[in-house]
Structure formats: structure tokens, C-alpha cells
């Protein structure tokens, strides 16, 4: 199977390293699995409360950001490099990402010759994995994936797209409510804490720069302030539009997304390049090749 669009490649490594990389790639390729349970600590969002008379103006900024982001294209394609580092190991995976809000994805890894090596596709309900090295095709449901990997169940109902793109969803904002607004301890902006209407829903602590109307950092915690993940955004880029002649709202995409607050002092870096956007929502799948071993995980 050959991929005509040669955008991703795998770094040279030993055979054993390749197999180890691709066994873990199913986790890295699905954004939801990046968010593992953490520990309670006093975060940057626990600074001084903003005076009551100033709170409405910051809430209005968040509303304006949500309205702007709602006009941005739903789909992006990009070269993606995933770096995982812990005290015990380092891993790197490179490939071609297609992502469409709210949670449809496809990630393909190719060899230097353009041949597909490994890929995953799916959404918040199901996933598919194709490994050409082992001639294995796996598909299953996200609910069982979360349960089998002992991940928090709320992840499959969360806003993956916003975490990846650094956006504030208008739908999510209407469904959330502001808990409090605090000053950042390092004077980078203000923290706006929101939570779902569900009593068991997680809280998002959003660090925004009010002047630039830009999201700098997102910390996800449970109701007991156990940190599930910290997502930081940098290297803001202006993606190339699908139609250069079309007048669109100025939408920035983080070129670098860093996920910390994970167990064992590990962290994950996502670096996107050659970013393009498309207007409509897209869905993705991986057809099962002939003579591949098929495994279904309901």
C-alpha cells in the first residue's frame, strides 16, 4: 500500500525500536489518551481573585474568543511530530495528520519511500488501527478502549478539537459556566475557570491574554483539583486556507502544543507544520486490506 502524498516519515531505528514505537503509537495517535490521571497541587490558576467589578469584562473577552473561533474552519491537515519523554525513555513519531472538529481524526505514518507503515483513524465513538509491519487491522469502540486502558471515562465526551487547536468552542462555552476569574501568578494574563453543568464534569482553567484574545494555556482538573493535564500553546501560525481567494476570519493555530502534568514526570510535545485548513467537517476511515488479520475490540 503506497501513500501518494509523501508528507510523513519514520526516523531510522533498530527493528526492536520500531516495534516498540508502533505498539505505543495507538496511544499517541489518539489525542484523548494523552490525558492521564495526575495529582492534586496548587496551580497557577489559584492566584488572586479578580475584583468583582472587573470580572464582566474578562467574561466578555472569553465570549468574543468563542464567537471568533466558531467562524474558523473545522478541518486542518498538517505534518505532525509527536515527542514523548519520561525519565526512562524518549520516543518520536512523525506522520501526516488530518483532524476535523469536534473529534474526527486520521494519522498516517509513512516510510522515507512514501509507503504506509502505520495509521489510525476514528472519532469519539470508535477507532481503527492499521499496522502494515504486522499485517494487522484493529477496530473497536472508544468506551472499551478507555475502560481497558484505565482512562477517565469523561475523556470520550470531551472537546478534543479545542485541546488540539487552542480554541474556545461557542457550544462548549454555552454548556459551561464560569466558576471564578483569577490573576496569573506570573502576570501572563487571567485564569478563567469553567466547568460542565454535570456535577461530575471536569474543570477547565483557561489562561488567556485579554489584549490579544489568545489562549495561552489550558489546565484540566477534576472537581477535587486533581490535575489531569496541562496543555500549553506556542508558535502561533496562520494556516494556509483551502481557497486563498476566500475572505476568512483571522484564525491562528498553535504550531507547538505541549502536554505536561502526566504521571512519572513525563510530557508530550506535538509539533505541527505545513498547516492547511478546510471549511467543512470531514470524517475518516481506514479500509481493511486483503489478507490482513482483523481483530475487533467492542
- What is the model's pLDDT at position 200? 60
For residue 91, pLDDT over 50 is answered with yes
By mean pLDDT, which of 31-40, 113-122, 148-157, 219-228 is the weakest?
Answer: 31-40
Do the Cβ atoms of 47 and 183 come closer than 8 Å?
yes
Q: Dihedral sign for Cα 208, 260, 240, 168, please.
A: negative
By mean pLDDT, which of 44-53, 102-111, 250-259 is the weakest?
Answer: 44-53
- What is the model's pLDDT at position 293? 94
pTM of the model: 0.78
The total number of residues shown for the chain amounts to 298
Domains of the chain listed by start with CATH number: 15-297 (2.50.20.10)
Higher pLDDT, 70 or 6: 70
Residue 79, beta-bridge partner list: 96, 273
Do the Cβ atoms of 10 and 117 come closer than 8 Å?
yes
**25-65 pLDDT per residue, tens:** 444 443 444 433 444 445 666 677 788 788 889 989 998 99
Compute how many other C-beta atoms are within 10 angstroms of the C-beta atom of residue 31. Answer: 22
| Residues whose CB falls within 8 Å of the CB of residue 274, separated by 6 or more in sequence, listed in order | 7, 78, 79
Region 114-118: what's the mean pLDDT? 89
> What's the CA gap between 279 and 242, in Å, rounded?
8
Task: For residue 98, give the C-alpha cell.
Answer: 488530518
**157-215 pLDDT per residue, tens:** 667 788 889 998 765 455 457 888 999 999 999 999 887 655 566 778 899 999 999 99
Do the Cβ atoms of 95 and 108 come closer than 8 Å?
yes
Amino acid at each position: 500500500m503506497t501513500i501518494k502524498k509523501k508528507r510523513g516519515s519514520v526516523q531510522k531505528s533498530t527493528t526492536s525500536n520500531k516495534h516498540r514505537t508502533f505498539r505505543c503509537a495507538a496511544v499517541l495517535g489518539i489525542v484523548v489518551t494523552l490525558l492521564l490521571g495526575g495529582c492534586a497541587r496548587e496551580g497557577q490558576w489559584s492566584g488572586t481573585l479578580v475584583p468583582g467589578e472587573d470580572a464582566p469584562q474578562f467574561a466578555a473577552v472569553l465570549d468574543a474568543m468563542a464567537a471568533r473561533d466558531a467562524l474558523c474552519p473545522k478541518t486542518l491537515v498538517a505534518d505532525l511530530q509527536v515527542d514523548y519523554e519520561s525519565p526512562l525513555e524518549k520516543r518520536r513519531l512523525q506522520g501526516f495528520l488530518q483532524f476535523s472538529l469536534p473529534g474526527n481524526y486520521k494519522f498516517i505514518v509513512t516510510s522515507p519511500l512514501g509507503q504506509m507503515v502505520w495509521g489510525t483513524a476514528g472519532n469519539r465513538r470508535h477507532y481503527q488501527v492499521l499496522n502494515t509491519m504486522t499485517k494487522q487491522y484493529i477496530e473497536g469502540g472508544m468506551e472499551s478502549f478507555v475502560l481497558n486502558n484505565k482512562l477517565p471515562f469523561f475523556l470520550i465526551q470531551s472537546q478534543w478539537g479545542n485541546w488540539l487547536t487552542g480554541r474556545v468552542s461557542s457550544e462548549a462555552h454555552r454548556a459551561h459556566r464560569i466558576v471564578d476569574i483569577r490573576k496569573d501568578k506570573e502576570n501572563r494574563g487571567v485564569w478563567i475557570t469553567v466547568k460542565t453543568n454535570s456535577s461530575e464534569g471536569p474543570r477547565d482553567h483557561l489562561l488567556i491574554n485579554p489584549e490579544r484574545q489568545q489562549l495561552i494555556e489550558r489546565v484540566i482538573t477534576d472537581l477535587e483539583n486533581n490535575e489531569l493535564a496541562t496543555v500549553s500553546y506556542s508558535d502561533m501560525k496562520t494556516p494556509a486556507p483551502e481557497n486563498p481567494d476566500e475572505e476568512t476570519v483571522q484564525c491562528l493555530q498553535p504550531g507547538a502544543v505541549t502536554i505536561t502534568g502526566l504521571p512519572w514526570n513525563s510530557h508530550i510535545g506535538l509539533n505541527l507544520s505545513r498547516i492547511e485548513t478546510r471549511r467543512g467537517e470531514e470524517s475518516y476511515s481506514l479500509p481493511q486490506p486483503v489478507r490482513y488479520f482483523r481483530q475487533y475490540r467492542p
